[in-house]
Amino acid sequence: MAKYCVNKNADENGYHEVHTESCSYLPISSNRQDLGYHNSCSEAVQKAKLYYSSVDGCYYCCQACHKH
Protein backbone atom coordinates (compact mmCIF):
# COMPACT_ATOMS: atom_id res chain seq x y z
CA MET A 1 0.00 0.00 0.00
CA ALA A 2 1.32 3.41 -0.89
CA LYS A 3 0.37 6.96 -0.13
CA TYR A 4 -0.80 8.92 -3.13
CA CYS A 5 -1.32 12.55 -3.98
CA VAL A 6 -2.54 14.50 -7.01
CA ASN A 7 -1.31 17.73 -8.61
CA LYS A 8 -3.68 20.60 -7.90
CA ASN A 9 -2.61 22.27 -11.13
CA ALA A 10 -3.34 20.49 -14.39
CA ASP A 11 -0.44 19.67 -16.70
CA GLU A 12 -0.09 21.11 -20.21
CA ASN A 13 -2.59 18.52 -21.49
CA GLY A 14 -5.20 19.41 -18.88
CA TYR A 15 -4.67 16.38 -16.65
CA HIS A 16 -4.09 16.29 -12.91
CA GLU A 17 -1.30 13.78 -12.33
CA VAL A 18 -1.43 11.19 -9.56
CA HIS A 19 1.86 10.34 -7.79
CA THR A 20 3.06 8.14 -4.97
CA GLU A 21 4.71 10.07 -2.17
CA SER A 22 8.09 8.53 -3.05
CA CYS A 23 8.07 9.78 -6.66
CA SER A 24 11.09 11.84 -7.76
CA TYR A 25 8.78 14.04 -9.83
CA LEU A 26 6.40 15.13 -7.08
CA PRO A 27 5.03 18.63 -7.43
CA ILE A 28 5.85 21.15 -4.73
CA SER A 29 3.78 20.70 -1.57
CA SER A 30 1.54 23.72 -2.22
CA ASN A 31 0.54 22.11 -5.53
CA ARG A 32 -0.22 18.70 -3.98
CA GLN A 33 -3.51 17.32 -2.75
CA ASP A 34 -3.29 14.29 -0.46
CA LEU A 35 -5.26 11.22 -1.59
CA GLY A 36 -4.41 8.93 1.33
CA TYR A 37 -3.30 5.28 1.14
CA HIS A 38 -4.37 3.01 -1.70
CA ASN A 39 -3.57 -0.51 -2.89
CA SER A 40 -3.05 0.53 -6.48
CA CYS A 41 -2.73 3.59 -8.66
CA SER A 42 -6.13 2.86 -10.20
CA GLU A 43 -7.76 3.26 -6.77
CA ALA A 44 -5.87 6.50 -6.27
CA VAL A 45 -6.99 7.73 -9.70
CA GLN A 46 -10.62 6.97 -8.80
CA LYS A 47 -10.21 9.00 -5.62
CA ALA A 48 -8.62 11.88 -7.52
CA LYS A 49 -11.57 11.85 -9.93
CA LEU A 50 -13.78 12.93 -7.04
CA TYR A 51 -11.91 16.23 -7.21
CA TYR A 52 -10.92 16.56 -10.86
CA SER A 53 -12.56 15.22 -14.00
CA SER A 54 -9.32 14.78 -15.96
CA VAL A 55 -6.82 12.64 -14.05
CA ASP A 56 -3.80 10.68 -15.25
CA GLY A 57 -1.16 8.54 -13.56
CA CYS A 58 2.42 9.81 -13.47
CA TYR A 59 4.61 8.25 -16.16
CA TYR A 60 7.35 7.54 -13.61
CA CYS A 61 5.61 6.25 -10.47
CA CYS A 62 2.15 5.19 -11.72
CA GLN A 63 3.04 3.72 -15.11
CA ALA A 64 0.09 1.26 -15.05
CA CYS A 65 -2.24 4.27 -14.79
CA HIS A 66 -0.41 6.52 -17.24
CA LYS A 67 -2.76 6.79 -20.22
CA HIS A 68 -2.25 10.26 -21.65
Distance from C-alpha of 22 to C-alpha of 52, rounded to nearest angstrom: 22
- Judge residue 48's burial from the number of C-beta atoms within 10 Å of its C-beta, 0-12 exposed, 13-18 middle, 19 or more buried: buried
Shortest reach from residue 66's CB to Zn ion, in Å: 9
16-20 and 55-57 strand pairing: parallel
2 near Zn ion, judged by CB under 5 A: no
Q: Kindly state whether residue 19 participates in binding Zn ion, applying the rule CB under 5 A.
A: yes
Under rule CB under 5 A, residue 16 binds Zn ion: no
Least gap, CB of 1 to Zn ion (angstroms): 17
- Residue ranges binding Zn ion (CB under 5 A): 19, 23, 25, 58, 60-61
